[in-house]
Amino acid sequence: MVYQKNRDERNSEILSQIIQLYTATAIPVSSKSVAESMDNIVSSATIRNIMAELEEDGFIEQPHTSAGRRPTDRGYRHYVDHLNGRLSLEKHKVKKFEEEFFEKVRSIKDLIEQSSHLINRQLHYASAVMLPDTVSQYMKHLELLKIKSDTVMAVLVTMTNIVENYIIKLDGDIEKGQLNKIANFINEKCEGKKVSDILEYLKGVNSVADKNSELGAMSAFAIRLIDGMAKTDIENEIFITGMDCFSGQADFSNSEDFRNLLKILSDKKLMMKIMKGELSAGGMRFYIGHENEPEPLKKCSLVTFGYEFHGTPLGRIGIIGPTRMHYENVFQTVNYLIEVLNSKIEGLS
């Protein structure tokens, strides 16, 4: 019935007002302040009635009887789910970043780094950025260097201009000429291929080649190499910055909470695991308050989005702030970042 719809619409609007006020001040908002923020088109008493309804619906809550209301996680969720309609107007507001932040970007690493800066400086939230896995990258060039009699360094340059290196220790000596041959072989056959595909390709070659032939030895060595690279670099390739954003915020005045949060954010392995789970998520995702997993993050919100190359998801970027986050700004900035990142990445190669 039309009747009901109007009511819901207005309730949503009041909720939105409450969220914006609470986001700005961190103080539970009173009916009076809502009325004022709406230029008193309705009285505080009316707002009180609506607020009672919103509370019944679980969108807002009172810390105690004689206090104002603040949004619940559910309230934020409702707000975020209905963001799409409300904005996408002020796109120009974000545009000015471009020149500042993405000026002399040469590699995907620069891009990711700049994104994290932008999140810290413009949004004032923490960021967790993942560099791409080696395996999901496309190879441009491989170089093999003998760095000791029995030690070889492989330097892999990807299409997105990331340089990975891997050091491998051999059982015996190996000749320089032999190394060059192997490098040439891989470069010729595999340039432009995805690293994971290269591995499969080499396995194919190896499976049909005579074990004692040159091709057999070469492909066996190459497999060992690429496989080693793929397994190695995964560990620490995550960077968390801007943790200091939480310390000013009233939300974490409870130092126990703050301490726990810092501990989580400082734990690269854990953060990597969280972000890793997101890899195939696609698009922008909001995780609000209790929707997050390790206890200390339940007072935070996490917004993640991915970047990709030729349609393959390469990595993901996370924005972490208090649940009382400025979702609107985040939404707009992320939309902008997704666009810029993906286009710039394609432009790299």
Partner DNA sequence: AATTAGCACTCGAGGCAGTAGAGTGCTAAA
Partner DNA sequence: TTTAGCACTCTACTGCCTCGAGTGCTAATT
Residues binding DNA (CB under 7 A) = 3, 27-33, 42-46, 48-49, 51-52, 55, 62, 64-69
Tell which one of 57, 61, 143, 191 touches a second copy (CB under 8 A).
143
Binder of residue 3, out of a second copy, DNA, none (CB less than 5 to 8 A by kind): DNA
CB of 74 to DNA, least distance (A): 17
Binder of residue 65, out of a second copy, DNA, none (CB less than 5 to 8 A by kind): DNA
Task: For residue 23, give the 3-state DSSP assignment.
Answer: helix
> Is position 236 an interface residue for a second copy (rule: CB under 8 A)?
yes
* Closer residue to a second copy, CB minimum distance, 153 or 279: 153
Tell which one of 5, 92, 96, 106 touches a second copy (CB under 8 A).
106
Length in residues, the chain: 349
Binder of residue 182, out of DNA, a second copy, none (CB less than 5 to 8 A by kind): none
> Is position 180 an interface residue for a second copy (rule: CB under 8 A)?
no
> Is position 346 an interface residue for a second copy (rule: CB under 8 A)?
no
Binder of residue 64, out of a second copy, DNA, none (CB less than 5 to 8 A by kind): DNA
User: Which amino acid is present at 225?
Assistant: L
> Is position 102 an interface residue for a second copy (rule: CB under 8 A)?
no
Binder of residue 42, out of DNA, a second copy, none (CB less than 5 to 8 A by kind): DNA
Binder of residue 68, out of DNA, a second copy, none (CB less than 5 to 8 A by kind): DNA
Footprint of a second copy (CB under 8 A): 106-107, 113, 140-141, 143, 145, 147, 153, 155, 157, 161, 163, 165, 167, 236, 241-244, 247-248, 253, 255, 258-259, 262-263, 265-266, 349
